[in-house]
Every structure is written in structure tokens, then in C-alpha cells.
Structure 1
Amino acid sequence: MEKLQMEIDVKKRGNGLGFRHMQMVLTAVCATVIYVMRSSMGVAVLAMTDTTKNSTTVEIYEWNEEIRGVVLSSFFWGYTIMQIPAGILAKKFGGKPMLLSALIINGILCLATPTLAKFGSWIAVCLVRMAMGLTQACFMPSTHTLIGQWAPPQERTRLSMIAYAGIQIGTILTMPVCGMLSSTSLGWTLIFYTMGVLACGTAIIWWGFAGSSPREHRWVKEEEREYIESSLNSSGKACPPIPWRSILTSRPLYATAIIHIGFNWTFIMFLVQMPTYLKQALGINLKNSSSLSALPFIGQWIVLVITSVLSDYLINNNTLSLDATRKLFNSIGCVGGGIGLIVMSYLTSEHQNIAIAVMTLTGGILSSSGCGYVLNHIDLSPNFGGIMFGMTNCVANLIGILAPLSTGFILGDHPTDPARWRIVFFLAAGLIITGDLVFRFFGTTKLQAWNDAPNEYEPGNEKQMKNNTDSNSTEKASQEIVYSFQNQLKDK
């Protein structure tokens, strides 16, 4: 009775809004700014190379499509190679100083970009973007670390949703905002100056109001701190050893990695190439093309909300098995998205409105895969799902670097040629549809035997293990993903 009363008292102390919610909102603001800086180059590079615009105040560069592709891909060079080290640093120093460093460094780099481009040309811009990728690689592990410190298990899903909302918001805002900035008298330079000031301003707010943990935050009330720490301690589990050999030889994991690669290739193409496609292939002016490029990401957000609810309903009501549900939504996203890309490849400047509608619909359909392969890591192994996702994400980003490079190579000096754009779209469609076929025939949601590693559960926790294994709830899966990442960081 005393233990039950203690748990009730702890929950009462946690009722209502608190600093944990403010912490997640601040993290979402950081995510918004970081993703705006990450995505802005897709618009900026068009304005930097728009030779049709006569300007005496802004310098225009004659960079061909291959150089543009190198510039656009350079961010992912640093982002990919720094992912694992970033996790170690986030564990050692905490989430607050890592995000603070990323904001300050990226802000300074943005402010310096116009000058460096003038004296160092595209090579200097590539180095700047690579440095930004190196520092922004800390975002995911830092955010996972913060969620692990601030989010009680019973609130972890909704708090993590608040924190990661900034990703979609930043991506959506980038295109129209950068399009408007580039149309001013300062041209493309205003994009980088605005991003730099925004990042530095956000860094000041983050430094003053954020904390790596409730214990380190000077304004958190004692009741809320006890509520968070008691909740986290009550759910603590011993960290099991990592079965690296079993993970690296897992056929289902390789199937998941292949679809992850195909999806990431398509996502990067949407992120950095859509402004170019709208302007060069469809003949839409830069300001409008930048705004319209945000439509696929708005569609993604809407469809992801709908499919998440529907997927959860099908699983929890036993309408479809977990395996069937995962593969159904993965196929809707990949095959449907692939068909959309193929249709887009046959549309020209005479079909602008149709092309925009198809582009938006395709971007939305692609997000259905979020209820497919993305959650499959945790289906295979609740204990090591976070580690596995990090591995496939690293490989997917490494190969994804080739997406803008290949587009630049295919387009060459003919960026308005519909036939060349058709190759670009067919390549992406082929990769994502092939990945879905591999996932459908070789992927599985069956819990892997090596998930039950020695010492995985403390004595007396067999019941908890069974509950984790038998649960088909998407809510549970989402919580376990975050928890798995938290354990990964604690291990290092």
C-alpha cells in the first residue's frame, strides 16, 4: 500500500505543464532552426547561380549542374561520418552543450558563407557545408539524450513528438522563406545572414533556458524534479551486452537497410532537388518554386498523422497482423511514391498545376513508410532497435550522398531537358520499389532470438520481457525506440 501511495503521489506531482514541456518546446525550436539551415542550400544555390538576374550588389557564379550537385551533397559528407562520434560526445557532455555548440558554429558559418564564396568559390562553400554537417550530426543523439533525461516513460512518446516537431516545421518553412529572402535586393546573401542571426539568437535562448537534465536546471521545481527522476528510476533496466555478430549477420536487418537506403535517396532528392526541378524543368520562377517545394513536406506531415492512427488501429484491433501492417504501409509509401515519381517524369512546363499536385501527393504517400520499415528495427529487437536504426541510417546517408551528385551528372549542362529529369526520377523510383520488394520477401517483424542476450533482464523481470515481446502497440514501439537509443548512449 505504501508503495502504491508513493506512486500516486509521484504522478500527482507530475500533473500539468512543467519545465519538461518547455525543454521539449525549446528542443523543437532548435530542430526548426537546424533544419532550416540544413535545407536552405537547395534554394540558395539556385539564386547564387541565376545568371539571368542582373544585379550590381550580389555576385552570381557560373557553376554547372555537376558543381551544384557537389555543393548540395557536401553537407552529408560531414553529417554521415560524424554520427557515431556525435553519440559518444552527447553522452559525455550532455545534450545542452552539444546543441549549443552546433547552433553557434552553424550561425558563424552561415554569416561567413557569402565572404567565403566570394574569395574561395564553390570549394569554400563545400567546406562550409561539410563543417555544418559535422556539427549538425549531434542533433539526433543530443535530442535522444535530452529525452532520456527529461521524459518520464508514461510521457515519453508525446514529449518526443513535441521535440521532433521542429524537423517538419523547419523543412516546410525553408522553401518559402528562403525564396522570399533571395528575391530582395541583397539576394541570396540575405539567406545566409538571416540563418546566421537566427542560429545565434536561438543559441542565446537555449543557453539561458535549457538544461541537460532536471537536476542541472536551476528553475525546475523540486516536485517536478522528483517526479521525473522517480519515474525514470522506477523504469530503469540493466543494460544488456550488444550481440554485434548476430546483428551484423541478420538477414532481416539487411532487408530493412536496403529499403532505408532507397527511401533516404528519394527523401534527399526531394529535399535538395525540388527547387531545381520546378525552376528548370517546369519553368516556375525561383520565388514560387521555393514555396511550392515545401508542399511535399506538408503532405508528408498530414499523411504520417493519418497513417499512424490507422496503423495503430489495425494492429490493436487485430484487423491485420503486425507483419502484414508493416508491409502494407511500407508498400503504400514505396510503390505509391515510386509510381508518383514516374508520373512526374512525364510532366512538362505545359502541365505545371498537375505536376505540383502530383509532387505534393507523392511526397505525402512516401511518408506512409514511416509505419513500415522505420519501426521494423524495434520489431526485430526491442533491446537493440536504436543501435540498429543508427547503423542503417548511417549507411543510408552515406549512399544518399550520391543522390545530388548523380542528379548533377545526369543533368549535365541540360537542366531543362525532360528526358534527363526522367532518368533522375526513374532511378529514384527503381531504388525505392526494389527496396520494398526486398523488404516484403526477406523482411520480418518476428522477434529475433539474439534479442534475449545474456543478462538482458534482471532476475524477476521475466514478466516484463514477455510483455515487451507480445505487445503489438505502435505506442509501445515508439517508446521502446527512444528507450533503446537512451540505452545505447548510456553504454558508451
Structure 2
Amino acid sequence: MLHASEQRLAPIDVGQNVLMPIPCVDRPKIGPRNLMGVVTAVTDDFYSIGTQNGHLRQTFTRNQLAPCGAEFFSINSIRDGETSLRTAINTTALTTTQQENYTLKAGSCHAAEKIENRKTYGGNLLWEPSMQTFLFSATFYSGLIAAPLSGYVADRFGAKTLLLVALTDFILMTSVGPLLAKSSYWAFFISRIVMGFGEGAVFPCVNSIASKWFPPNERSTLAAIYTSGIQLSTGISSIICAFLCTTIWGWPSTFYSFAILGTLCLILCYIFANNHPKNNRWLGDEERTYLENSFETNGKHGQFKNANEMPWKEILFSREASAIYLASFSSNFSSIIASSFIPLFLKEQLGLSITQNGYYTPLAFVSQLISKNILGPVSDHLKRKGIISKTKAVRIFQTISCFGSSLMMLLICLVPTCETPQLAIPILFTYGFCFACLVPGYFTAMISIAPPCTGTISAIGNIFGNTGYILGPLILAFVSYMEFENKWLIVFAIPALTQFISGIYFMNFGSADVLQCIQVPEKIRTENYKQ
């Protein structure tokens, strides 16, 4: 029984479908749960609620995995393109000095064997380290320009169309990559700039869609699923690329293969992705009602009508948002060092062959895949049970991500040597496992604190993240130019320090609660019940 004073909208009649907050008496920290029921009796002061099987139940089906799957393949397509570039550079790009002579500071290692391993990389692209560095960061320059505009467009007009355009950009630039790389370095560089406009738009679009499809206590699981495309593409693609580079088709085949895969992703996104549950053709009325009433945002989980409605001050300057932006910078800074330069570190410092490199490199990404898909659901389970609050959950997991990955980045350049390269295996695996805790950490916070503005917040986060992406290659180029003796220690210590600082800040100010400027008191929402 519920008192009639709890009803705040239109009068309720028998037979109507009602979604209302039911408090968890035993665990009040988690707040009310939105449950679906049907009005079975009405009196002057009370009305009863039941369902066809006689009890309240939470409505949730796997139709929500349709947009989630489309987002997964979108991210997978992007990362495959990035892997193609790393493969082309790490396996075929040589400096003019390397073209004439292979050298290795092997110490007491078997120098001849290590030098022979170096020669397995081959290569005919005469690009100096500075040129290689600019290629690694080219997409991030244009991404800085595309991100803020794409986030606003996604929140204002819907994200699906913009997502399809971004994927098309990636497919076209990946397809022409080998031809441009062989003909002109600068033509290839410009194609990377063009590709960056698409990359800058993808995550704001994906996050904007996700925030409108998944209720708060399901978002860590959601983020784990659709960001798994990063690890699958980066990890598995490293093995695939290593194999393709040894075939008669060589490294260009990696570009063509991933362009074909990207086309498949584009088709899947066109069919399955939707801006909002109300636009989905496969969603049932009951689940649609549940989703449309599961957000504490005064019904504003669609697009804003004009820019003046956006709470710009809170989005830009609140402590909760700034914790997300700092985490985005530090995690992306650490990620670009790990994903782009650990293969180079394994090649130069540990003297691994291209085949060995292909097996070592994916370890961090495989462990990330395992970690996020275990800890994401665990985080959501703990929140639903009221064991920890949403904010405490994101703080705990982000702290593990920052401090754990920071420690492992220091160990990777201090412990293994060319005599004991196998010691890198547990370090790489642990690094990835800790790093992936950012998914139930700051990434969950990013799609939770302001659902109507998620695209914009993601875009601003992308600006900070792309700044980290740009600084990573530049730092390596600077350290290489200065010829510091402990080059790799310096390269890995800097992102380790930024991760540590970011972790301390997020531990104090990070949050997954909806910002007060958007949140309103819970309302009982009603809709005609359809048998």
C-alpha cells in the first residue's frame, strides 16, 4: 500500500502502469529503486500496486545491449586503425642510421642473437624518430578541435548520425593509408590529421548514447562491455598484425583488413544504435517506460533545446567534473605511453624479436579485458546491494587504477632486462589489471554526474585526454633527442607521477552522484498499462 500523497502527477486509476521509487529500508544509502507495477485498487487515501504475477519487479532486458554492442564495435574499429599505424612504424620505419647498421647496447646479453632479432623487423620507410612521433600524435591535434563541437552536437541533436560520419572518416583514411605512406610522409601525416576529426567525435557520441540507455546502477557494467573493444582490438590486433607483417602482403594488409572490419562496424552501428530508447524499434513498452523514468534528471535525458539550458559553470568548473578531467588526462597520458611505446621498449631495451613482441604486447590489454569485465559487474552489484555508494565505488576503483598502474610503470623499466625479459610478463599483466579499474572508476563517473550533458562532459574530457596523448610522444622525442642515459626510466616515470597525483585528487573529489544543477526530487511517473 502507498499513501495517495505520494502520487504527484496525474490521478492514478486501476489498470495503470506505475514506476515509483521504493526505498531500501535495510540499506538506505543507495536510495530508492525504481520498480514497475500496476495499480490494482484505489481508495481515498491509498492505492495498491501489483503486477501480473503478483509482485513488484524491476524491468530490464538485453535489448539495451544493441546500442552497447554498436558502441563496442565503434571503439574496436578505431583502435584497429591505431594498431595498424603502430605496426607500420614499429616494424617498418627505420632511421637513416638504422638503415646502415644495427646496434644494441646488450651488456652481458647475447648481443648477436638480439641483433638478429632486430633485423626481423625489416622496413623501408625512412622516417626519423621525430617524424614517427608526429605521426603517433597527429590524430590528437585535430581531435582537440573536433571534441568540444561533437560533444555539444551529440547532446543537442543526437549522436547516432555524427557517430556514423566519424566511422566513415576512419574507414576511408585507413583504406588509403598504405598508398599515402609509400608515396609521401606528409600526405600520410595529413590523412592522420583528417582521421583525428573522426576520433575526436566517437567517444562523446558513444557516451552520450550510453548515458540515456543505462540506469546509474548498471553503468559500470555497461562501460566495461563497450570499452572492451579497446582491449580486444589493441591486444588481438597486435598478434594479427605481427602475423600479417610476415606474410607476402606485408604491413599494408593490416590497414586493408581493418578497413573491411570498420565497414562491418559501420553497418552494425547503423542498424542497432539509437540516440534514445524511445527510438528503438525492438524495445518493449514496459522496458521503454522503465528506462525513460530511471534517471534523476527531471526528464531531461534527451537533448537540450538550446545552449542556455546547459549548466556550463558546473560542467566546466565543479570539483566533480575537474576530477574527471584530470583523470582523463593522466589515464590517456599513461595509455599512450603504454600502448605506443611498450612495443618499442621491448624491441630496444629487451631485444625481443617481432614474434616475441607480438606475444608480450597484448598481455596488458588481455588483463584489462579480464579486469574490467569482472570488476565492472562487481561494482554495480555492490551498489545495488547498498554495500557501497555510487561515489565511494568510483573513488575506490579509480584509486586502484591510478596507484596500481603507476607502480607497475616504474617496475617495467627497473626489473626486466635483456637477460630476463620474462619478468616483464607479470608486470605487464598486473599493469593492465589495475589500469582497467578506471572503467568502474572515473569513466563511470563521467557518464553518471550529468546524463543530459554526457556528450559535452566526454568532449571536454577528450580535450584533456588528447592533451595527454600529444604530450606522450613529445616527451619520448625530447628524451631521445637529449640522449639521456636512463631514457625509458624517465619516459615511464613521468606518467606514473601524473597517475599518482590524479589518484589523490579523485580520491577526495570524485563523484558519481548527479550534479545538483540537474538532479530533482524523485517523481512517480505513470503511463497507461498495456496488457
Structure 2 unpaired stretches of 5+: 1-13, 17-36, 40-49, 103-117, 525-531
Structure 2 CA distance for partners of 1:363 and 1:205, relative to 1, 3 Å: closer
Q: Which has the higher helix share?
A: 1
Shift of 1:325: 5.4
The structure 2 residue matched to 1:29, chosen from 73, 93, 97, is 73
Equivalent residue in structure 1 for 2:249, among 186, 197, 215:
186
Which residue number corresponds to residue 489 of structure 1? none
Specify which of 184, 199, 202 is matched with residue 120 of structure 1: 184
The reply to whether residue 367 of structure 1 matches residue 443 of structure 2 is no
329 and 159 in structure 1: CA distance in 2 versus 1, 3 angstrom threshold: closer
Instruction: Please list the CA deviations of residues 90-119 of structure 1 after superposition, one character each: whole Å capped at 9, or x if unmatched.
Output: 457754433333333322212211221222
C-alpha separation in 2, matches of 1:204 and 1:317: 39
1:264-413 correspondence to structure 2 within 5 Å: 264-308=332-376, 311=379, 326-346=394-414, 347-376=416-445, 387-412=456-481
Which of the pair has more CA radius of gyration? 2
The alignment's TM-score, normalised by the length of structure 1, stands at 0.76
Q: How many Å separate the matches in 1 of 2:138 and 2:127? A: 15
Residue 470 of structure 1 aligns with which residue?
A: none
- Quote the residue 1:488 is aligned against: none
| Cα deviation, residue 425, structure 1 | 1.1
**Does the CA contact (< 8 Å) of 1:71 and 1:126 recur in 2?**
yes
1:103 to 167, 178, 181: 167
The letter for the 1-side match of 2:312 is: W
Query: How many residues were matched structurally?
Result: 447
Quick check: which one's strand share is greater?
Answer: 2
Contact 1:152 1:231 in 2 (8 A): no
What is the distance in 1 between the residues matched to 2:491 and 2:357? 19
In 2 relative to 1, CA 152–309 (structure 1 residues): closer, same or farther, beyond 3 Å?
closer
Letter in 1 for 2:502: G
Please tell me whether the aligned partners of residues 281 and 418 of structure 1 are also in contact (alpha carbons under 8 angstroms): no
Contact 1:179 1:288 in 2 (8 A): no
Q: Quote the Cα distance in structure 2 between the aligned partners of 1:359 and 1:161.
A: 20
Q: How far did residue 372 of structure 1 move?
A: 3.8
- Name the counterpart of 1:134: 197
Deviations 1:258-312 (A, max 9, x none): 3432222101211211211111121111233133211111112223344445555
Q: Name the amino acid aligned to 1:261.
A: F
**Hey, what's the Cα distance between the residues in 2 that align with 1:259 and 1:201?**
32
Q: Which residue is 1:475 aligned to?
A: none
Tell me the CA shift for residue 150 of structure 1: 6.1
Deviation at 1:397, TM superposition (A): 2.0
Mind listing any 5+ residue stretches in structure 1 that lack a counterpart?
465-492
Question: 1:135, CA displacement in angstroms?
Answer: 1.1
Question: Aligned residue for 1:245?
Answer: 313
The 8 Å contact of residues 170 and 195 in structure 2, kept in 1 or not, is answered as yes
Could you tell me whether the CA contact under 8 Å between 2:364 and 2:431 is conserved in 1? yes
Aligned partner (choices 134, 152, 158) of residue 70 of structure 1: 134
Describe the superposition over 1:300-337 as per-residue Cα deviations: whole angstroms up to 9, x where unpaired: 22233444455556666776777665544433322222
Deviations 1:231-266 (A, max 9, x none): 444457343944433454434543443343222210
- Deviating more after overlay: 234-243 vs 377-386: 377-386
- Determine the structure 2 residue equivalent to 1:2: 15
Distance 1:119 1:146, change over 3 A: same
Answer whether contact 1:279 1:289 (CA < 8 A) is retained. Answer: yes
Q: Percent of counterpart pairs with the same letter?
A: 23
Q: Secondary structure at the match of 2:125?
A: coil
**How large is the RMSD of aligned CA atoms in angstroms?**
4.0
Choose the corresponding residue for 2:502, options 431, 435, 438.
Answer: 435
Contact 1:328 1:372 in 2 (8 A): yes
